Amino acid sequence: MENFTPYSALFGGILIGLGTSLFMLLNGRIAGISGMLKGLLPPSTVLDNSWRVAFVIGLVSAGLAYQTLVPTQSLPVENTSPIILVLGGLLVGFGTAMGSGCTSGHGVCGLSRFSLRSLIATVIFLSTGIVTVYVLRHLI
Amino acid sequence: MMKQILAALVSGFIFGIGLMVSQMTNPDKVLNFLDVTGQWDPSLLLVLGGAVVTTTLFYRRIFLIKTPLLETRFYLPETTVIDRALILGALLFGIGWGLIGYCPGPAIASLGVRFYDPLIAVSAMIVGMIGYQFIFQRKND
């Protein structure tokens, strides 16, 4: 438990909730990142994608701004093998497209709307994530 | 139109700062959360809990108004059926998440922080999404 960071975790979580809530209040939409990404890709026929692009730019610029202004946070070592990154990324992309959501859409927005679909999805992806890490770190 | 774009930009920015503050953008921290039998780091429970409680409280108030402030209606998912796609999709997503410690939001926010890993991860996610769409011939709405 020596890595436990309760205050930054809770504060960051509240900020995620505020961004999600603001988006619903103003734009009336779910802040589901995989759904936004999917909406930007072929064969999507949505004509107006500007809000999706804007949200994604907001995410990237937040990463850039925070890292520039608060450089004390140590960067994680980039030591994941490219093969694992590609395989994992493909599964995340394919799985979130098939399951209509990820940690943000199902985990945050769905649970906050008391959606049974999202609860089931969240329990499943947390479980298979835990099993995958168990296999990788403790069995192999 | 300009207002909606600006609102999306600001919402995404606040969301992204939340991801950075909570270190969701650090895949090692995410994997330590999923490692329940090892050096378990429960921080992500508080991230999710903080986000869900905050959003639940605000959503309740927001849904009392007829329309959002900048749009003519709310765009909410209408599907309620628990189907094989939901279950299999979540299952595959969890395996990928456990492999790399990146889910879509943090991976995208990380593009502004460091380059190679998030770029490979996000590119692969995009390929995976397009692959799913073409295999199953579904039109996105």
CA B103/CA B45 separation, integer angstroms? 15
Q: What is the mean pLDDT of chain B?
A: 94
Q: For residues A121 and B90, is the Cβ–Cβ distance under 8 A?
A: yes
| DSSP secondary structure of A51-108 | HHHHHHHHHHHHHHHHHHH-TTSPPPP--S-HHHHHHHHHHHHHHHHHTT--IIIIII
Residue B140 has pLDDT above 50, yes or no: no
* pLDDT at residue number A44: 75
pLDDT at A70 over 90: no
Cβ distance A112 to B59 less than 8 Å, yes or no, reads yes
Residues B15-63 have pLDDT tens digits of: 999 999 999 999 999 999 999 999 899 999 999 999 999 999 999 999 9
Out of A16, A80, A132, closest to residue B15 by CB: A16
| CA angle in degrees (0–180, nearest 5) for A75-B41-B107 | 45
pLDDT of amino acid A16: 98
Is cis: bond before A43, omega within 30 of 0?
yes
Which residues from B are below 8 Å from A23, CB to CB? 7-8, 11-12, 15
Look at residue B83 and tell me whether its pLDDT is greater than 90. Answer: yes
Of the candidates B24, B94, B129, the beta carbon closest to that of A128 is on: B94
Instruction: Give the pLDDT confidence score for residue A109 in this predicted structure.
Output: 97
Q: Are B52 and A122 in contact (CB under 8 A)?
A: no
d(CA B66, CA A82): 48
* B125-137 mean pLDDT: 91
SS3 at position A29: strand
User: Residues 45..64 of B with a Cβ closer than 8 Å to A: which?
Assistant: 45-56, 58-59, 62
| Confidence bin at A104 (pLDDT 50/70/90) | very high
Map out the domains of chain B as residue ranges.
2-136
Mapped onto helix, strand or coil, the DSSP state of residue B75 is strand
Contact: B34, A132; criterion CB under 8 Å: yes
Interface ipTM above 0.90: yes
The 10s digit of each residue's pLDDT in A28-64 is 999 999 999 999 998 777 777 899 999 999 999 999 9
Q: Kindly identify which residue of chain A lies nearest to residue B47, measuring between CA atoms.
A: A13
Highest mean pLDDT out of A39-43, B85-89, B115-119: B85-89
Res. B139: pLDDT tops 60: no
Please answer yes or no on whether A30 and B110 come within 8 Å at the CB atom.
no
Placement of tokens 């329309």 in the chain: B67
Residues within 8 A of A (CB atoms), B 65-104 only: 67-71, 73-77, 79-82, 85-104
B15 touches chain A (CB under 8 A): yes
Mutate to test the interface with A, among B10, B20, B44, B122 (most CBs of A within 10 A): B20
Q: With helix as H, strand as E and coil as C, how does A87-100 read? A: HHHHHHHHHHHHCC
